[in-house]
Amino acid sequence: MSLSLQLLHLLTLTVRTDGYYEYDTDECICSSSDLTDVEYIRTNYFNKDPVLRFNSTVGKFVGFTEFGMKQADYYNSLPYLQQMQANLETYCKPNLEIDFSDVLEKTVEPRVELTAEKKPSNGHTAMLMCSAYDFYPRAIDVYWLRDGKRETTHVTATDELADGDWYYQVHSHLEYTPRSGERISCVVEHASFSGPMTYDWDPSLPESDRNKIAIGASGLVLGIILSAAGFIYYKKKSSGRILVPS
């Protein structure tokens, strides 16, 4: 799962009296964190139309208009050309390293829930929903398996929805007619996982009953732990007593 970043800096110059609008953009574009494919581009615009552009891959200025081509020939004959090429190392790479390390390479695992949206009844189809919550970065792949084969029909999904706090959520629905003994799974692939994570659907119990069992099991384990702790405490206290004959 590749990462990509475009760093954009905008410098504007506006002449309000005649309605002219001129601005330059500096762009640093790359798709890998090792920064081996960084490209630096500066473009000069006049009234939203490109006039002149420097591209570090091309290695020179290129004009888009008659005036721009004259400017390109002029700048290409100056030491200014080497200064623009140097921006790849002095401007792009230092800023991209910060952005990759502080933002793009940070990952948060999704919290995945598999629920029944509609139960089969009277010959009607059933519907399952696989939801992934609170994950980062945005790129994620959620799909369904039926008996190990990818299901591509009767599947609908939302886009990755921004939560407004750098995290995202996504929901995928599978509408199906249950078959006896089949295995249905939701598979989630995300940069925070070392590989695809598979979540199996268990139709044997309603979701409410599964939750009750989980809560009951947790309570049982907690009770055993507390009982064991009490017994150990009692034994230690008993071993420290001195019996005096009456």
Per-residue pLDDT tens digits for 69-105: 999 999 999 999 999 999 999 999 998 888 777 766 6
Residue type, 42: R
How many whole angstroms separate alpha carbon 100 and alpha carbon 96?
Answer: 6
Six token digits for residue 215: 């809560």
Question: Distance between CA atoms of 114 and 107, rounded to whole angstroms?
Answer: 22
Range 111-207 has CATH code 1.10.40.50? no
Q: Which fold has domain 5-104?
A: 3.10.320
Is the dihedral angle over the CA atoms 45, 47, 49, 51 positive or is it negative?
Answer: negative
* pLDDT at residue 242, rounded to an integer: 44
Domain with CATH 3.10.320.10 in the chain: 5-104
Give me the percent of the chain exceeding a pLDDT of 90. Answer: 48
CA distance 28 to 99: 12
Please tell me the predicted confidence (pLDDT) of residue 2. 41
Domain ranges in the chain with CATH number 2.60.40.10: 111-207
